[in-house]
């Protein structure tokens, strides 16, 4: 009987120890975190134009814009709209004439919000007896506006034997070069042509002469 009681007491003690042990931990599943959505900015449409060149000639500013298509744009210089424009697609030249001396902001903006800006400086216009003759000034303006068919590669002013002459090099190697006098009259063709010797009559060699570049084609 005593032995039975000892066995029962042992079982009770083992059961008590088992009940007092820490329960097995069940791993917790992390609660998923809600990630806020990232706002993506709507991309601005690509500009269908690009500023090609700005030129200041006296009190006139010429803004040349290259168009990849035909969007609607506004072009201003110092807040002023253009006085005229010349279209030689894909380039359009905007003219801003009779501008006051000083720095002027050039702004270009299209209907899609694309914008580009730069600045130009118009110098004080001073009467100068050595200014370009009227025929040349008009020719240069038309060249800037791309209104001349087959524009020359370059125009250079030289003083030759005490006289002012203009040496005009044309685009193609088989074209004659032109030699003009101070009034714009053709003197002859000193070089160029198929043989490279011009008309064979006009003698002029710019080598070694100090010239003033008047126009350089694009």
Residue 109: φ, ψ to 5°: -145, 140
Instruction: Give the pTM.
Output: 0.48
Kindly list the domain boundaries of the chain, sorted by start residue.
49-122, 150-216
**CB-CB contact of 77 with 46 (8 Å):** no
| Two structure tokens written together for 109 | 């903006």
- Reply yes or no on domain 49-122 having CATH 2.40.160.40: no
What digits encode the pLDDT tens for the residues 156-191?
999 888 889 999 988 776 788 999 999 999 999 888
Contact 124, 174 (CB under 8 A): no
For residue 90, whether the previous peptide bond is cis, meaning omega lies within 30 degrees of 0, is: yes
Q: Strands 115-122, 102-110: parallel, antiparallel or unpaired by DSSP?
A: antiparallel
Residues 52 and 67 sit within 8 Å (Cβ to Cβ): no
User: pLDDT, tens digit, for every residue of 114-162?
Assistant: 999 999 999 887 655 456 889 999 888 888 887 777 888 899 999 888 8
């Amino acid at each position: 009987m005593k032995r039975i009681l000892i066995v029962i007491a042992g079982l009770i003690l083992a059961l008590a120890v088992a009940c007092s042990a820490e329960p097995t931990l069940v791993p917790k599943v992390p609660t998923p975190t809600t990630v806020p959505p990232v706002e993506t900015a709507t991309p601005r449409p690509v500009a269908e134009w690009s500023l090609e060149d700005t030129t200041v000639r006296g009190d006139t500013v010429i803004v040349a814009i290259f168009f990849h298509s035909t969007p609607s744009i506004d072009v201003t210089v110092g807040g002023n709209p253009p006085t005229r424009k010349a279209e030689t697609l894909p380039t359009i030249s905007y003219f801003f004439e009779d501008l006051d001396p000083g720095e002027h902001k050039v702004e270009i903006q299209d209907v899609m919000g694309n914008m580009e800006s730069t600045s130009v400086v118009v110098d004080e216009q001073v009467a100068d007896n050595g200014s370009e003759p009227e025929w040349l000034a008009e020719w240069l303006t038309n060249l800037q506006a791309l209104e001349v068919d087959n524009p020359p590669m370059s125009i250079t002013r030289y003083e030759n034997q005490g006289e002012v002459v203009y040496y005009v090099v044309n685009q193609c190697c088989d074209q004659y070069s032109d030699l003009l006098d101070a009034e714009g009259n053709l003197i002859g063709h000193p070089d160029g042509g198929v043989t490279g010797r011009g008309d064979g009559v006009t003698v002029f060699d710019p080598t070694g002469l100090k010239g003033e570049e008047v126009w350089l084609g694009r």
